[in-house]
Amino acid sequence: MPDFGFVGAAYEAPSITQDAQECINFFPEIDPTKAQGERGIVALYPTPGLETVAIFPNQEEVRGLRTLSGGQQVVAVCGDFVYVLEDDLTPKMVGQLNTATGVVGIVDNGVNVYIVDGTYRYAWFISSPSAASFTGSISGTTLTVSTMLSGTIAVGQAIFGSGVQQNTVITALGTGSGGTGTYTVSDSQTVASTSINSTAAPAIVTGSISGTTLTVSAVTSGSLKIGQTIEGTGITDGTIIVEQLTGTAGSIGTYTVSASQTVSSTTIYAINWTVLPANDGPFEGGVTVDISDNYFVYNKPDSQQWAASDLLSPITDPLSFASKDGSPDDLVAIIVDRREVYLLGEMSSEAWLDVGSVPFPFSRIQGSSTQQGIAAKFSCARMGNSFAYVSKNNRGEATIVRMNGYFPERISTHAVENTLVGQNVSNAVAWTYQLNGHETYVVSFPDIGENGLTWAYDNTTGLWHKWLYTNDQGNYERHRGNCCCFFNQQVLVGDYENGKLYKLDLSQYTDDGQLVRRVRRCPHITTDLQRQYFAELQIQFQPGVGLSTGQGENPQAMLRFSSDGGFTWSNENWVSIGVQGNYYARAIWRRLGWARDRIFEVVITDPIKAVIVSANLKAEAGDN
């Protein structure tokens, strides 16, 4: 029997008697030059491995990644800290969130980075990420630096570290003069010895505040920017610059600040990291965020409302908001596609476009409403010229769709949906990567099964596979990836738990050193449910791929089979794929018994390039 469909995608039907196919940690690739039915038209390739390229110091959940406009920096959120990475992929702390868990949204407009975590909104003025890294402790207002790691400490620098209060600034030198020693900081606190990062002061000025008017009388260094936090003696914590009223841009003149107060003339330090105050815009917080025509757009938790910032600014006018008003369900997530803002609700969706109106620049596009919402706010990810997400409507949920214009099209199969029905899918997390022409939508469901489940949809082939992590006990878990970005010709993925930043690599056959268990289970082999005798099965692997030493030196394929349609299974039978350089090796199993409904399953765990091109089966009918 020539190629009998051994190579293919994952498809386990609600009844395994109908179909019991598995494709775990392989992805199918189609050869368009071959005719239908020809051997090798579809091959299975190993999913990309993980290689650690950076570890964030706090080693917690990597909550979000974003390659900034221009491609020179990546912003990452790990736990409650915000980091910037450049070419050397060294994490440099530039800010701190008020929350420590859960996926965050990160976008930028080339000037500011904007972050939302549900409860709060934040901004970082894009700049050099680090002035100094060191080990230090704080007692009262005295910072004691015990070890310098890099850079030079200076007055005006903001400092970030575990336990360090927001908006803490170095205000004076003590025994230190840029290196180890003591320094005075702006806020009294107690912090045990920890790793601390400082960022350069964007501006140091002299000024006073009366009500919400800041009057700058002198500039020591730098330039003030809209959205910056200001720190100084007597200044209310979290005060930010909202607009400039008079004077030279960023220099001497008057400014509006976010909090009313009275402060006599004092030294004022600007900070590029900002926790946007509760009185910024029409509401506090933001669930998801994107950018359209240089407006940051974000939605209010548990409501229909969404807002747009000022143009090229992190500040939002109190009247710059609207509601998803086509249907009464709450707005869950926002994504911008081709300048249009898609509002994905609980049960419906609609699209809006910038029409230049004031104070809110967007207006609903007629004919864009659809009766299909989103089941998981973080399941939305770009794919091709559109985006995909886990959908929901008033008739059910757990279908995965791709938006086509204004209307979603189903891309999940019954096999995918069967794993989601009756499960909690509301915390699903999705991201997309592209390698070797395969653009893949990856969606993880943390609450399905004991250890979670990850499905991957290849937009190039239209086929699904499972992408799972193999733990030390040999059991499957959801994939380690929680978020993704493309930077310096590398696809980077953040771990959902341990603070690691990985590189996806098709030539890496382990997950950060952990062996990967790859499985292919073929369709049912039956001839009118009559008895068949199976003399020989040969699986065509890419030969000669064994390693020079260690596990994989003589790579093995482990075959088992079911003779009752997938309900019970034989013991494993091991066969060598072939040592390094043995290009004549063949993986053959003989004397495989008889069955009326046979299924074969092969497993590979060796860290090799395990490519399955085809399979050949010798079988004959028997007496019935």
Residue 452 sits in a domain of what CATH number?
2.120.10.80
Return the C-alpha torsion angle 273, 277, 283, 288, nearest 10: 20
Does residue 2 register a pLDDT over 70? no
Domain boundary among 481, 515, 549: 515
pLDDT at 504: 98
Q: Give the sheet arrangement for strand 362-364, strand by strand.
A: 331-337, 340-345, 349-354, 362-364
pLDDT at 226: 96
Domain boundary among 515, 536, 570: 515
Tell me the residue length of the chain. Answer: 624
Query: What is the rounded average pLDDT of the residues 410-436?
Result: 97
Does residue 305 register a pLDDT over 80? yes
Structure tokens at 152: 């030079």
Looking at the 3D structure of the chain, how many domains does it have? 5
Contact predicate 267/303, CB 8 Å: no
* Residues 8-66 pLDDT 10s: 999 999 999 999 999 999 999 999 998 887 888 999 999 999 999 999 999 999 999 99
The answer to the question of residue 6 being in a domain is no
Does residue 3 register a pLDDT over 90? no
The answer to the question of residue 53 being in a domain is no
For residue 242, the SS3 value is strand
- Say which CATH number the domain at 536 has: 2.60.120.260
pLDDT at 398: 86
Contact predicate 511/499, CB 8 Å: no
Looking at the fold, whether 407 and 501 belong to one and the same domain comes out as yes
pLDDT band at 622 (very low <50, low <70, confident <90, very high): confident
The DSSP letter of residue 547 is -
Looking at the fold, whether 384 and 478 belong to one and the same domain comes out as yes
pLDDT at 163: 92
Long-range contacts at 405-412 (CB < 8 A, ≥ 24 apart): 406/351, 406/365, 406/367, 406/368, 406/369, 406/370, 407/370, 407/372, 408/349, 408/370, 408/372, 411/457, 411/462, 412/457, 412/464
pLDDT band at 241 (very low <50, low <70, confident <90, very high): very high
Looking at the fold, whether 308 and 298 belong to one and the same domain comes out as yes
Looking at the fold, whether 434 and 417 belong to one and the same domain comes out as yes
Q: Which amino acid is at 415?
A: A
pLDDT at 45: 98
Looking at the fold, whether 458 and 403 belong to one and the same domain comes out as yes
Structure tokens at 357: 């109106």
pLDDT at 129: 86
pLDDT at 619: 92
The answer to the question of residue 278 being in a domain is no
* Residues 558-594 pLDDT 10s: 999 999 999 999 999 999 999 999 999 999 999 999 9
Q: How far apart are CA 339 and CA 351, in angstroms?
A: 10
pLDDT at 624: 63
Looking at the fold, whether 499 and 595 belong to one and the same domain comes out as no
Looking at the fold, whether 267 and 312 belong to one and the same domain comes out as no
* Residues 180-230 pLDDT 10s: 999 999 999 999 999 999 998 899 999 999 999 999 999 999 999 999 999
Contact predicate 85/92, CB 8 Å: yes
Mean of pLDDT over the chain: 96
The answer to the question of residue 1 being in a domain is no
Contact predicate 524/600, CB 8 Å: no
The answer to the question of residue 283 being in a domain is no
* Residues 342-395 pLDDT 10s: 999 999 999 999 999 999 999 999 999 999 999 999 999 999 999 999 999 888
Looking at the fold, whether 306 and 413 belong to one and the same domain comes out as yes
Phi, psi of 414 (to 5 degrees): -60, -35
The answer to the question of residue 102 being in a domain is yes
Query: What is the rounded average pLDDT of the residues 511-516?
Result: 98
The answer to the question of residue 556 being in a domain is yes
Q: Could you tell me the pTM of the whole model?
A: 0.95
The DSSP letter of residue 404 is E
Domain boundary among 199, 227, 256: 199
Task: Classify residue 37 as exposed, middle or buried by CB count within 10 Å of its CB (0-12, 13-18, 19+).
Answer: exposed
Structure tokens at 11: 């498809």
Q: How far apart are CA 237 and CA 488, in angstroms?
A: 38
How many other CB atoms are found less than 10 A from the CB of residue 394? 13
Q: How far apart are CA 288 and CA 254, in angstroms?
A: 34
pLDDT at 396: 86
Looking at the fold, whether 472 and 553 belong to one and the same domain comes out as no
Looking at the fold, whether 496 and 601 belong to one and the same domain comes out as no
Looking at the fold, whether 230 and 335 belong to one and the same domain comes out as no
Looking at the fold, whether 72 and 89 belong to one and the same domain comes out as yes
How many other CB atoms are found less than 10 A from the CB of residue 264? 10
Query: What is the rounded average pLDDT of the residues 147-175?
Result: 94
Q: What residue numbers bound the domain in which 602 lies?
A: 11-47+517-621
The answer to the question of residue 207 being in a domain is yes
Q: How far apart are CA 346 and CA 366, in angstroms?
A: 20
